[in-house]
A and B are shown apart, each in its own frame.
Chain A
Amino acid sequence: MKLNHKSSVLLVVLAVVLLFLPFIADALLGRGWVRILDFALLYIMLALGLNIVVGYAGLLDLGYIAFFAVGAYCYALLGSPQFGLHWPFWIVLPLGALLACVFGVLLGAPTLRLRGDYLAIVTLGFGEIVRIFLNNLNAPINITNGPQGINMIDPIRLGTFSLSSEQSLFGLSFPAVHLHYYLFLACTLLVIFISMRLQDSRIGRAWAAIREDEVAATAMGINTRNIKLLAFAMGATFGGAAGGLFAGLQGFVSPESFGLTESIMVLCMVVLGGMGNIKGVVLGGVLLVLLPEALRHGAGPMQQAWFGKTYIDPESLRMLLFGLALIAVMLLRPAGLWPSRQRQRELTEEHEDYDSTR
């Protein structure tokens, strides 16, 4: 890919900012915000995974958080005192992603003939089934510990390098949240890379064709069954990987982290940012994680300053403003904040003579 001067400068600036972001946030806003950044990255990964299913292939999935849950519980069960297993991170994380991928195919297979509203309802049910299973698998044999969730999950450890304790590198000291930030950033960049490569490929075009017109796609020789399953599997894999990272960061998982609200939240990131456009989805993820937190931290003090007392609980105000923001975006920018633009690919350069000679 060729980049012009301006965009390469922008890219370098962005890289530097991302590299120092945890230190900047730590210094300006406090350590809690670095943790929020970690979560933002997790949600971006989730949103990018869902974007493959919803944005690329056009399959509305309302139970996406189930794959996040599968990845998180896989990590939790294999790396905690629950069963006394302490498998290493580099086995457990891929295993969680793989298991989520299997679940993706399991969800995909019976829903191949469904579209639109019907697909949405089945996937919604699937998400709930997974959550309810996790909630109730504490009897007759205790597997998931039920609503109490699983505690004391092993921290992420790469070899002997633990991310859960402060580490000194290059003369700088990196607290745990910072270390997680860099790992999550690397994973997010990998997910972005995979998404970009897939979108601009034979597979990506097949997904787009199914999204646009399934009948025409199948008449053009696309095996819609396999291609749709592939979309479900890819999306679920990202979800599962993000789930494993989530469990490692939190050290604790319980079914209530994987409710319908979370699924809707991830879907909102995709739709609000701009379905099918990676930059838009990243923007959606950042906004929907950071804004509610900013409101949570800002709304109380602001009311104090303006009115002298807190009239509305910041927590309820958060949801109110969030709802209004969603409505505003849907009215003003129905294609999302950063909608996908028809890509004028670099590839075209060598073929431009075709256009100009006609």
Chain B
Amino acid sequence: MDRPDVRQTVYQVTMVTVVAVAVGAVASLAAIAFVEAVLLLNDYLLVSPYARIQAEDRHLLVMAATIAVPASGGLIVGLIVRWFVQERRALAPPDVILAAQTQRSGPGFRSGLASTLAALVSLGSGASVGQYGPLVYLGAMFGNLAGHLKLKLRHQRSIAIACGVAAAIATAFNAPIAGLVFAHEVILRHYSLRAFAPVTVASATGYIIANVIFDRPAMFLVSFGHVEHSYEFVFFALEGVLSAGLACCFMWLLRASTDAARRFPVPQWLKPASAGLVLGLVALWIPEVLGIGQETLRFATIEGAFGIGELALIIVAKLVLTALCIGFGFVGGVFSPALLVGILFGAFYGLVLPYLLPLPYSGLEVYAICGMMALASSVIGAPLTTILIVFELTRSYDLTIAAMVAVVFSNLISYRVIGRSLFDLQLRARGFDLSLGRDKAILETHPVRDYCSQAYTTAYVDENLGTVRQRLVDDDRGEAMVLTREGKFRGVVRLQKLVNGRADAPLDAMVVTGATQFGDDTTVWQSMEMLRGFLGEAVPLIGADGRLIGVVPEEAVIRAYLEIVHDLREEENEAA
């Protein structure tokens, strides 16, 4: 290796490491600050049971707070989103996926900060939404900033975004391996050493900050012995299948709620407040629906904490109210509610099972954890991540294997029924379809217009055959674009048709009008599809006003396809 190459390699490795550590550290600190701020708000606003019980003497105050806090929180959220978020909607993991996958600029930093603030208010005031979505966005936001520095690193932006996301997840769950895998599985959608190395560094940085420097408590502590009976694995698989059903139900509810919100005759900024009001009223009766529900999560693993009926009631209430809160514009994620509903469903399953099949079981805990992970993994489309979260949080091999079985069965079903994840569904609604892999999705983001050429021969409908024939011979082309005198595109004439015609014959009769043509918004992917059976040199590209913008030679479409796919393959196979 000669000298400049060595210098270049040292520069690359050093810079990538510096970016990874910096993004990891900032994302991790931001995540800690966010989580702490939510807890503080929950205590201050009488959302957390810990704060509520201390105000027990002032019963009316607690009741008033239960109704007023989510409602006014919703109002503030509505106003923040209206005034400060340019996109007028919550920014979430789908935006991160889009930013990492495409070259599009994506939401600005200001919108990101405002969206994060809205999430903070939502969670702080007890809305039934999750905190991991906002944390992922927060991490990605700082990654995106680093991605714009002029460091001349390849795929700098997508890698920096993945670094931020990995660090945020590693911090939030105290699970660095899960953070690393999440960034690849959900955000990058491929595994290459070039991305893997810095994302690992960022994830480890997040873990060190959370664990060593701040000594944050683990999100979930369980002690589990082992699965006592081999036949239980069948029950875990069945639990996975049932969880998939619940996951589909959850996603369907989310969509129904979003649709209902659209039809709800109230200004957009007032919608979160109305959801908050409903939430508060239900919380008077079922306090478990408020907030993230750490306590409920823990109770679900304890035998005797819930009756079967109670569990069913809380599951339904939490599902419906989460869909309501998110659909009506509270800003927050779906992962924490999915974890909670999942663990409650798991506990429910664990309690009902002995009545159906009177066999010995390994206790409630393992069923609760399986349900939690099966449901949550289906919703966010991250089976590997959730399996690793179980492993890292519980350090129990047995529990992880049990959860693994439930998770894969759940994902198998939900993938078939609704698609890979809620994020992918939301992206598809926005025209970015990852269901057939990255190739199609990315090819869909490139307009074929970018490959347009002005090298074509023009003919007008009122010209005669001989003139056009001579022009084609002079230009050395086989076809001409026929326009009206007003400049509108009319069709194509091919030299083959003109060769034997009379020179004074009108051109009009020779024009082929129904041939393949591209529009202003035709993507590279669509153009590939449209080229099937195409015989000709170039495809005309017609603007919305019917005028000819240019032509796209067949060769250009193939070149576009090869270039884009080559870039993708290169990204996926690069070493550091």
Q: Do A and B bind each other?
A: no
Residues of B within 8 A of A (CB): none
Residues of A within 8 A of B (CB): none
